[in-house]
Structure 1
C-alpha cells in the first residue's frame, strides 16, 4: 500500500538519517505521537511548536554548523508567515535548509481558507537560490528527499496531506529535475499537457489517456532555474501548452513559462481567484474552485477546437 507524501517524507528522512548524522528533523507541532523520526532518533528531532519564523532562523543556525535541517509545517504557514526568514536565510544567505511543506494547495480541505495555500509557489519562486519541488506520489517524494539531503541548495518541497498516488515511472538513474513524459512518449505534438503536483498530475494522466495528439510532461521541480532549463526541450515538443497546477494563476508555473516562452501559447488550469467558501474534502474544495477532471477536459477541448476554427 502506498504512503502519502508526508508519510513517505518522514519514513525516507529517517532512513537517510540512520546513515547521515548531519540530518536534523524539525517540526511545527505536526508530528503526533508516532513520528518515526522522533521514535528512532529522538536526539535529532525537535518539535518547535507554532513558531514558523523562529524555526527557519533556528534552522539557519543549525545549517551554519554544517548540519542539514529539514523543517516541516503547513505550506501556508511556511511560505507566508515565515516568508521574510525564508527570503533572508535561504534566498539571500543560501543556508542549506530544507522546508517540507505539507498541506499544499487545499489538501487540508476541512481546515478552511486560513490553512489553504494557493500562493506559496509564487512567493518562494520570487526568492533567489531556492529549489522548488512538487513531487507526485510516494516514489517521487522519496527520490526528492534523497536529492535534497545531498544537495547544498535550499529546498522548498510541497506535499499534500493524506492523498496516496503511485508515481509515474522514472528511470532509476534520472534526477527528478528531468522532465518526465507519460509512457515515455516525447514527440512533436499539437498540445503538451504539463502537470505540477499530485492532484494535477492525476488529472493530466486522465487527459492524456483520453485525448488525441497530446503529450503529458510532468515537472517535479518548478523553481526559476529549472523552468529556464526546460524551455528548449518544451519547445521541441510543442508550441502550445496546458499547465495543470493546484495554485492560483498569478505566480503559477504557467505564468512563469509564458514569460520564458513568449513565442508559445501557455494556458492554465488552476484554482482561480476565489476563496473556498466552505470546508470539505480535498476533492470537494478543488471542485468548488473549478479544478477537476471535468473542467480540465472541457478546457482541453476548447484549446483543441481553436485550431480547427482557425483553419476553417
Structure 2
C-alpha cells in the first residue's frame, strides 16, 4: 500500500485527537469502575508495530455490561485480551474500517455505521487489520453468566431474554454483522461526543436502547453479512497491494482472478467486505486521493499527475477528480499555493 495516502488519512481523521497521549507502538487502556473510585490508566505490555497507536476507554455500566470506546491507528497488529467464554461483544464502527481474523480461520470486516457481533472467546487472540489505516468505534460487552440473573430494571420490565437475543444474532455462526441503517445511526448519533460528566448515565440509557432495539428487530437474512475464511482476506490484501503499488497499471478482474487463483465472484465479494467498496469504485477513489496528494505536495503538472495515477486522458482524469473531490484539479491545487 502507498503509505502516503494512509498517512494523509490519519492526519485528517478526527481520531488523532484522541491519541495525543499515546506514543507510537503503545496501547493505552483506561477503565472507569462502577464505584466512585478513581479510574485506572495503564499501558499494555503488548508488543505492537512502531506505527501503531491504540487506546480503549471502558465504562462499567451495570453488573455484566460494559462499554468501551476504541481508537486505533495502524495497519495490522495482534490483539490479546481475556474474557469469559460466555461474553458477547457488540461493536459499532463510527469511522474507518476494521477486520478481525479470529481463531478457526474466520475473518469479519465491517465499516462506518455497521454493527458486528461475536463471542469474545473467538477473538481472545486475534489479528486485527485496519484497511484504511484507522478505526474509531465502541464495544458493548455482555457477560451472559451475570445478566441471566441481574438484568437492569428497564430490561427486566421489557422481559428481555438476553440469552435468546445472543443466540439470534450469533447462534451457530458465532459471528455476524448488520450493515449501517438510519435506525442504528439514531442510536449512536450522540454517544461519541459526550461531556465526561454525562457519559455514564447517557451510556446506560443508550445501551438499554440498543438491546431493546435488537430484541425487536432481530437479524434479517437479507441484511446480515457473514464472516469468511482468513485465507481469502489475505489473497485480497495481496491483490490490493498489487493494484496500488503502481497506479499506472490497470488490471481486469479476470487477470487478477487467474493470477491469484480466486474465482471472480469471491474476489469481488471479499474485496468489498474488506475494503468497503467494489474494486472499481475503490481504485477510482484511491487514484484520486493519491492525485490530490501529488497536487498538494509536488509541482508536477496536472497531465503528469494524471499519468502517474493511471489516466492517459487529462480530460477523463479531470472528470474523475471532480466526481470524487467536487472540484477540478487545477482549482484544487490553487487552494494549496
TM-score normalised by structure 2 residue count = 0.26
Q: Please say which structure displays the higher CA radius of gyration.
A: 2
TM-score normalised by structure 1 residue count = 0.28
Q: Which has more strand, going by share of residues? A: 2
Name the structure, 1 or 2, with higher relative contact order (CA <8 Å, separation 6+). Answer: 1
